[in-house]
Amino acid sequence: MGERGSYRPLDADSVVEFVEPFVPGPRESEEVGDGNLNLVFKVYGDGGSSVVVKQALPYLRLAGENWPLTLDRARIEAAALEVQNRFAPGTVPRLIHYDSALAAIVMEHLERHEVWRVGLNTQRHYPQAPAVVGRFCGQMFICTSDLGMHPEERKKLTGRFINPELCAITEDLVFTAPFIEAESNDIEEHLTDEAARLRSDKVLAENVAILRFMFRTRAEALIHGDLHTGSVMVAPDDTRVIDPEFAFMGPMGFDVGAVFANLALAHIAHRAQGHKEFAETLPEAADEFWAAFTESVLSRWPASETWRERFIVDLVNDAARYAGAKMIRRIVGLAHVTDITDIEDDQQRYRAQVDAIAGGRALLLSRRVVSVEHLWTLATEGEA
Ligand code: SR1
Ligand code: MG
């Protein structure tokens, strides 16, 4: 198995054969993929051993075979896991094997973990998670940017992470489609007017075009590229960032903005449902994420370099705008978030959707965001 040209989608039987070198038999498998793109199997072997196998399909799982998608994303994910394990050890799953012909990755099975978004939706508190994700970002940004990596090595890294097709998905689904009439948009009927208002706002269109240009051109560091709360696995004593198939050398603010956007969406969703106490844990999570992130960055950067303070303030400002685009796409674009889609009461769901659009819009239209408090107020109150 694994020869060039021998790609075929794995199934419950063939995946068991595929992992033979890594898991002692007898083995059992189950397909558990609930994401938008790939097949994911858990394979259990003798003596309590187990692994996860993630295989790229030649199309987008969410849309079906009429939306073809490169298998190269499995190579990108394996390479990103390797680099993340090197620079941010303990914060991502261990990479066990990558098979290029099958576009499949064998990795550590995080048995005790659940997806952070699922934990947030069910009001389970994981107090360590925000700081681990903050440190993950800080370590990756310093170690893979010109701030911490030799320029020649960084340029080679850039070559390894050319990821045009997955970047194109983001350019389209985050920065373009939600702001125009697009077939891919998924708009609940009661949001027809709000979505039309977004499409007719010329200043918004201008700001989002600038943001898309920044996303396309700022090869600052190896970013995760899709760092929402569904890309984090949590246990009471352990947190791991998963799913780096969108990784490329891009703007740091995009990952930071993704974390803020998803915490803000969780807050807005719980607030709309009257879960006051849990909603109030989310601004704290945002603060903890940011404190760990800045601590991680500043501790690796000599204090004599005074521009580091300016760098951090500029980063919040970038992150605020990216967060705005990300919030809006999760309401009127393709691929919504269960924080909001799972709200069964129509009035509460509508409230959350309208608040998320207002937050996203306020972030995208803001002139200059200089602190996380400012960012959070815009995101969750829709104004400064
Ligand atoms: C078409 S794939 C939809 C979304 O799923 C991923 O998680 C990314 O966020 C992407 O935009
Ligand atoms: Mg993903």
Question: What span, in angstroms and rounded, lies between the C-alpha atoms of 79 and 163?
Answer: 12
6-20, 55-69, 120-134, 153-167, range with the lowest pLDDT:
55-69
pLDDT tens-place string over residues 309-360 = 999 999 999 999 999 999 999 999 999 999 999 999 999 999 999 999 999 9
pLDDT beyond 90 at 4: no
Instruction: Identify the pLDDT of residue 64.
Output: 83
Output the average pLDDT for the chain: 96
pLDDT beyond 60 at 41: yes
- Percentage of the chain beyond pLDDT 70 is 98
Instruction: Identify the pLDDT of residue 5.
Output: 60
Question: What span, in angstroms and rounded, lies between the C-alpha atoms of 21 and 99?
Answer: 13
Question: What span, in angstroms and rounded, lies between the C-alpha atoms of 219 and 377?
Answer: 29
Question: What span, in angstroms and rounded, lies between the C-alpha atoms of 126 and 285?
Answer: 9
The stretches of the chain forming alpha helices (DSSP H) are 14-18, 72-87, 116-121, 129-144, 151-160, 164-173, 192-200, 202-217, 252-272, 276-279, 281-299, 307-332, 338-341, 346-365, 372-381
Instruction: Supply the residue whose CA is at minimum distance from atom 2 of ligand 1.
Output: 36
Name the amino acid, one letter, at 183: E
Q: What is the DSSP string of 316-367?
A: HHHHHHHHHHHHHHHHHSSS--HHHHT--SHHHHHHHHHHHHHHHHHHHH-S
Instruction: Identify the pLDDT of residue 305.
Output: 85
Instruction: Identify the pLDDT of residue 26.
Output: 85
Cα(226) to ligand 2 centroid in Å equals 6
Instruction: Identify the pLDDT of residue 114.
Output: 97
Question: What span, in angstroms and rounded, lies between the C-alpha atoms of 125 and 146?
Answer: 36
Local confidence band at 384 (pLDDT 50, 70, 90 cut-offs):
low
pLDDT beyond 50 at 229: yes
DSSP one-letter code for 228: S
Question: What span, in angstroms and rounded, lies between the C-alpha atoms of 140 and 247?
Answer: 12
6-15, 40-49, 54-63, 311-320, range with the lowest pLDDT:
54-63
pLDDT beyond 90 at 8: yes
Rg (CA), the chain: 20
pLDDT beyond 70 at 2: no
Cα(166) to ligand 1 centroid in Å equals 9
pLDDT tens-place string over residues 268-306 = 999 999 999 999 999 999 999 999 999 999 998 888 888
Instruction: Identify the pLDDT of residue 75.
Output: 98
Backbone phi, psi, residue 114, to 5°: -130, 165
pLDDT tens-place string over residues 241-260 = 999 999 999 999 999 999 99
- Residue in 34, 37, 70 to alter for ligand 1 test, most ligand atoms within 8 A of Cβ: 37
- Residue in 228, 334, 341 to alter for ligand 1 test, most ligand atoms within 8 A of Cβ: 334
54 against 62, higher pLDDT: 54
Question: Which of ligand 1's atoms lies nearest the C-alpha of 226?
Answer: 9
pTM of this structure: 0.97
Phi-psi region of 200 (alpha: psi -120 to 50; beta: other; left: phi over 0): alpha
| C-alpha separations of 299 from 292, 303, 325, 370 in Å | 10, 8, 30, 21
Contact 285, 134 (CB under 8 A): no
Range 174-202 average pLDDT: 98
pLDDT beyond 60 at 150: yes
Question: What span, in angstroms and rounded, lies between the C-alpha atoms of 109 and 232?
Answer: 14
Instruction: Identify the pLDDT of residue 3.
Output: 43
Residue 17's CB: how many other CB atoms inside 10 A? 12
- Percentage of the chain beyond pLDDT 90 is 91
Question: Which of ligand 1's atoms lies nearest the C-alpha of 231?
Answer: 7
- Residue in 226, 229, 255, 265 to alter for ligand 1 test, most ligand atoms within 8 A of Cβ: 226
Local confidence band at 36 (pLDDT 50, 70, 90 cut-offs):
confident
Range 85-100 average pLDDT: 98
Listed in sequence order, the residues at least 6 apart from 253 whose beta carbon sits closer than 8 Å to its beta carbon are: 214, 315, 317, 318, 319, 321, 322
pLDDT tens-place string over residues 102-117 = 999 999 999 999 999 9
